Chain A
Amino acid sequence: MSAASKHKFAMYWAAACGGCEISTLAIDDKILQVAEAFEIVFWPCVMDGKTSDVEALADGEIAVCLWNGGIRNSEHEHMARLLRRKSQVLVAFGSCAHEGCIPGLANLNTREQIFDTAYRDTPSTENPDGVRPQVEFQAPEGLLTLPVFYDTLKTLDQTVPVDYYLPGCPPEAERIWDALVAILEGKLPAPGSVIGSDSTVCEECGRKRNEKRITAFKRNWQVLPDAETCLLEQGLVCCGIATRNGCGARCPQVSSPCIGCYGPPNGVADYGARLMSGLASVIESSDPKEIERIVSEGLPDPVGTLYRFSLAHSLMRRAAKPQGARP
């Protein structure tokens, strides 16, 4: 196929760790088929390219753009709008774009608190003049600008319309390949849907399940789980009950509880609420004091446990900003 007739492909990262790109390359030699089928026009992680190259394209000229990362600052938002305009299919790729992921947990803090930590409080910070990022700085050579750091990290679909979601932190290479094949063969599901299965991790988990009666939630270091029984039954907060499958239940298979990176299955508006519902059903107590003990001892960080990957995409989206937080 000549370059001119190939579909154009882009992949971009915003507030992300780069794991999505690694997972994409983990499709191994099939990446050559991707290069065969697509003309890669923009992929800053693996090849040189400039924003101006994207700007020079016609609207809708990119066939598919895989976007990973949340929207943390105004540059991310600008790139999201630009790539939305240039792409026929925009995929929220990976947990950060889909649900905010770990960077979204910063929504527990205000922008000022984040800056305090990054530019003042950490032991390795040496910043005697208390310098903070400025949006504009008048240098003798001219006006310098930096993107605006937002108060609240947004997901991609809170910023621009998104066609498909590919969940996971990161998405498993097999699922990425499935999605690329679906795109190439034009066998995509209805726009707006998640490309993946629609059951929970428990479905793929081979552990034995009995009736669950939990009298104490334990943390990972407190228990050496047996290899056969459901981890939740053993008191670990395994989030598989509320999490979409697609990963092959990799974590529970090696005795590590599911932490929910694939997000909720279809039809769930709020991942943490789903998990709360599930956990409430397995706590074996009807005594308010006992319940209080189980919850406060077992879930010392409720948001970090129930919304580890999904705070930015939850109904509440963030913690309350203090009154008069406006800087």
Chain B
Amino acid sequence: MTETRFEPRIVGFFCNWCSYRAADLAGTARIKYAPNVRVIRLMCSGRVDPTFVLKAFACGADGVMIAGCHPGECHYLNQNHKTMRRHALLRHTLRALGVADERLRLQWASAAEGAQLAQAVDEMVAAVRAAGPLQWPRHLREDAPGLDGLQRAAQARDRAAGAPHGEARA
């Protein structure tokens, strides 16, 4: 049996005016690059609420790429400057949570920079592949010793009592 290679799952938040068009251009120009980024198109990289990034990681993404217009070229004047600051805050927070820097990349790409965007995606995929899977839900799995027996007993008690309130919200 051959060992399957780890394929990183990366969520991309691309701005409508520059980087999404750069990705489009990379496609029409038939540039080959890693298919690991699932692109979500937003109107502006300034629309990327840190919640989106954290949710992507919490749901199991191995990396997140935020791509927008170069500073000074934002369709909405300077919203990508906010992105820059949010990215700094996110990076520091994620680092403190044990998520390595290479898993979150901020990439500027104008609509003409299909090749540059493709190269950035390749670089990021290689870096995340080297870092290995993140799979955040795995970190939330409770594996304190002695737990299985206790939990089974508690569930059995609940079942015996007809537990009217169902299961907890995840």
Which residues of A come within 8 Å of B, CB atoms? 59-60, 74, 77-78, 81, 84-85, 108, 111, 135-136, 147-152, 157-161, 269-270, 272-274, 276-277, 279-281, 283, 285-286, 288, 291-292, 295-296, 299, 301-303, 306-307, 314-322, 326-327
Among A135, A136, A274, A322, max chain B CB count under 10 A is at A135
Contact of B139 with A318 in the complex, beta carbons under 8 Å: yes
Over the window 3-45 of chain B, the binary record of Cβ atoms lying under 8 Å from chain A Cβ atoms (1 yes, 0 no) is 0000000000000000000000000000000000000000000
Among A292, A295, A303, A315, max chain B CB count under 10 A is at A315
Residue of B nearest to A317 (CB): B140
In Å, the complex CA distance between A58 and B77 comes to: 63
Residue of A nearest to B85 (CB): A280
Contacts of B57 in A (CB 8 A): 315-316
Contact of B170 with A158 in the complex, beta carbons under 8 Å: yes
Residue pairs across A and B with Cβ atoms less than 8 A apart, 17 shown, are A81-B157, A111-B144, A135-B150, A148-B145, A150-B147, A158-B168, A159-B168, A270-B50, A280-B89, A281-B85, A286-B84, A295-B88, A296-B92, A302-B93, A320-B97, A321-B139, A327-B144
Residue of B nearest to A304 (CB): B96
Contacts of A319 in B (CB 8 A): 96-98
- A302 contact from B96, B147, B158, B166, Cβ within 8 A: B96
Contacts of B151 in A (CB 8 A): 74
Q: Assuming the A-B contacts A60-B164, A74-B151, are A316 and B146 also in contact, with contact meaning beta carbons closer than 8 angstroms in the complex?
A: no
Contacts of B146 in A (CB 8 A): 135-136, 148
Contact of B84 with A291 in the complex, beta carbons under 8 Å: yes
Supply 8 further A-B pairs (C-beta < 8 A) apart from A148-B150, A280-B85, A280-B89: A148-B144, A161-B166, A269-B55, A291-B85, A302-B96, A317-B58, A318-B139, A327-B145
Residue of B nearest to A163 (CB): B165
**Nearest chain B CB to A61's CB is how many angstroms away?**
12
Contacts of A326 in B (CB 8 A): 143
Contacts of A152 in B (CB 8 A): 140, 142
In Å, the complex CA distance between A322 and B101 comes to: 16
Among A60, A149, A276, A285, max chain B CB count under 10 A is at A276
Which residues of B come within 8 Å of A, CB atoms? 49-51, 53-55, 57-58, 71, 78, 81-82, 84-86, 88-90, 92-93, 96-99, 134, 136, 138-140, 142-147, 150-151, 154, 157-158, 161-170
Contacts of A150 in B (CB 8 A): 142, 144, 147
Residue of A nearest to B83 (CB): A280
Contact of B163 with A85 in the complex, beta carbons under 8 Å: yes
Contacts of B50 in A (CB 8 A): 270, 272-273, 276-277
Contacts of A315 in B (CB 8 A): 51, 54-55, 57-58
Residue of A nearest to B150 (CB): A74
Contact of A59 with B92 in the complex, beta carbons under 8 Å: no
Contact of A318 with B93 in the complex, beta carbons under 8 Å: no
Contact of B140 with A318 in the complex, beta carbons under 8 Å: yes
Contacts of B51 in A (CB 8 A): 269-270, 273-274, 315
